[in-house]
Amino acid sequence: MNNVSKVADLIEKRQIAKLGGGEKRIESQHSKGKYTARERIEMLLDEGSFEELDMFVTHRCTNFGLEKEKYLGDGVVTGHGTIHGRVVYVFAQDFTVFGGSLSETMALKICKAMDMAMKVGAPIIGINDSGGARIQEGVTSLAGYAEIFERNILASGVVPQISAIFGPCAGGAVYSPALTDFILMTEQNSYMFVTGPKVVKSVTGEDITTEDLGGANMHNSKSGVSHFKVEDEQKGIELIRELISYLPQNNLEDAPIEETNDPINRLEDSLNEIVPDNPNMPYDMKNIIHGIVDDGKFLEVHAGYARNIIVGFARFNGVSTGIIANQPNFLAGVLDCDASRKAARFVRFCDAFNIPILTLVDVPGFLPGSGQEYAGIITHGAKLMFAYGEATVPKVTVTIRKSYGGAHDVMSCKQLRGDFNYAWPTAEIAVMGAAGAIEVLEGRAIKGLTDPTERAKFIEEKTAEYKDKFANPYQAASYGYIDDVIEPRNTRFRVIRAFQALQTKKLVNPLKKHSNIPL
């Protein structure tokens, strides 16, 4: 072969590699409404930025005659490129090659990309679409998974890791996405479970569909395994690009600043009237969030799961900020097991990646009852407390309305090293709500009043007295637990000024191997 032929041979090999498992299988992939691995990467990265690695890697398996069936690149496409001009490493499993099932060499390709991402401090994005372990390879495939898991673990808190599920993700394969920071699933075609419907049926007798067992709807509402549900792959890819824009490259950097024309001192008059006079009336906390952040833009995480608490990313004067807010519109914004876990994980993500935290509080307390106690609300609530207390990033808290009992402490109070704790004049900061308090404090006196009118009058008077004393922010402010009571419409300005003043914050936790968060 002369040199010209060698170049032609290379070009041909590249073309073959780009066809993955071949045109028929690509057609089959398209017919299911799915894109191929390379199409997904092209859509995800800035145009023309993709540099592929290991295109000529093939599997080494000789079982079941597999040595006769080889595809250049094997079942995964890996490499690097940019999103909004910043480097990311990617891998996308190629369903057209042995159903994207994981071979030993595929694992090596993924690990190489992950190692490079760690070396340069860049996010890792994995697109999952795979039949799991390559059955013909046996235990080497399992070892390959474990190599990936270990890298997921070591990369955790060092570089952001994002997993898109655009097809099957079953068996132990689910644990790589589960170890990453964010999971995104498409409404159609994606599912995740440890064991599929057939095994479930044979082991437990339960009849259940793939969708009900591990589809996007289930994981985005019931299990909380997935953080985002998207209509289709294109929307999913747009969402990953948006998510990346809020994140730093690694734990030693800050997230990029995005210039805004939204004035920092913009007054949002509607906020002065947003909290209803009746403390039992709900309102939508999202209106407050949209009203104070840059350009009203908020990327909600875990939107369909534990809706009594809201978490997500926004910007204040261009600075990426994590927001955690109780949602009075759902279960009165109470803290339960799921809400505690959801918020704790988000707080820890923000803290790991130097993203300041804003907490908006309207919480009546922890959800009472045997259901919650049996489910371990003590441990789960402690997770959120731990996450806030351990976090060293700038923390600003604004109490909007209720802040009662243990939930007051948990929601980034002053003593959990809250940096600036503000309250609206509508705030109620106390051990418990008026009705409950009067029942405890005046129970004997109430029982002694047999005349119903007299009893009602007594309760009304005592409740009013309690409310006057405690259903306000001023007792907490008189102790300095609240740094200032602020006018609601001026919240954006006060929050921005607080974070500006915290830009140089330095806080280091005691040296230790690692903490022991109540898992």
Which residues are identified as catalytic? 171-172, 406-407
Question: Which of the ranges 76-84, 164-172, 485-493, 500-508 carries the binding residues for ligand HXC, by CB under 6 A?
Answer: 164-172
Q: Tell me how many residues contact ligand HXC (CB under 6 A).
A: 16
Token pair 């690097």 is at which residue? 80
For ligand HXC, what does the binding mask look like between residues 17 and 56, x meaning CB under 6 A?
A: --------x-------------------------------
Exposed/middle/buried for residue 417 (C-beta within 10 Å: 0-12, 13-18, 19+): middle
Instruction: Residue 25: count other Cβ atoms within 10 Å of its Cβ.
Output: 19
Calculate the alpha carbon distances from 131 to 72, 184, 203, 358 in Å: 19, 18, 21, 41
Judged by DSSP in three states, 278 sits in coil
Q: How far is the CB of 43 from ligand HXC (least distance, A)?
A: 22
Please list every residue from 286 through 345 that binds ligand HXC, using CB under 6 A: none
The length of the chain is: 519
What would the x/- binding string for ligand HXC be over residues 402 to 441, using CB under 6 A? Answer: ----------------------------------------
Residue pointed to by tokens 């007295």: 465
Among 83, 113, 133, 498, binds ligand HXC (CB under 6 A): 133
Q: Check if the beta carbon of residue 34 is closer than 8 Å to that of residue 189.
A: yes
Q: Provide, rounded to whole angstroms, the least separation between the CB of residue 103 and ligand HXC.
A: 9
**CB nearer to ligand HXC: pick between 199 and 501:** 199
Residue choice 99, 236, 322, 433 for contact with ligand HXC (CB under 6 A)? 99
Q: 320 in helix, strand or coil?
A: strand
Output the smallest distance, CB 141 to ligand HXC, in A: 7
Contact between 132 and ligand HXC by CB under 6 A: the answer reads: yes
The DSSP string of 8-32 is HHHHHHHHHHHTTT-HHHHHHHHHT
B/e letters for 268-299, b = 16+ CB within 10 Å, e = fewer, are beebeebbeeebeeebebbebbebbbbeeebb
Q: How far is the CB of 30 from ligand HXC (least distance, A)?
A: 13
Q: Which stretch binds ligand HXC (CB under 6 A): 131-139, 256-264, 393-401, 453-461?
A: 131-139
Q: Are strands 51-53 and 309-316 parallel, antiparallel or unpaired?
A: unpaired
**Is beta strand 428-430 parallel, antiparallel or unpaired with respect to 420-423?**
unpaired
Q: Say whether residue 98 binds ligand HXC (CB under 6 A).
A: yes
Is 73 an interacting residue with respect to ligand HXC (CB under 6 A)? no
User: Using CB under 6 A, which of 19, 66, 118, 142 touches ligand HXC?
Assistant: 142
- Does 101 bind ligand HXC (CB under 6 A)? Our answer is yes
Pair of tokens at residue 326: 């109780």
**Cβ 198 to ligand HXC, closest distance in Å?**
9
Q: Which of 79, 81, 126, 131 binds ligand HXC (CB under 6 A)?
A: 131
170 binds ligand HXC (CB under 6 A): yes
**In angstroms, how far is the first alpha carbon of the chain from the final one?**
62
Q: Which is nearer to ligand HXC, 140 or 379 (CB)?
A: 140
User: Is residue 135 near ligand HXC by the rule CB under 6 A?
Assistant: yes
Burial of 196 (0-12, 13-18, 19+ CB in 10 A): middle
Residue ranges in contact with ligand HXC by CB under 6 A: 25, 98-99, 101, 131-135, 142, 145, 168, 170-173
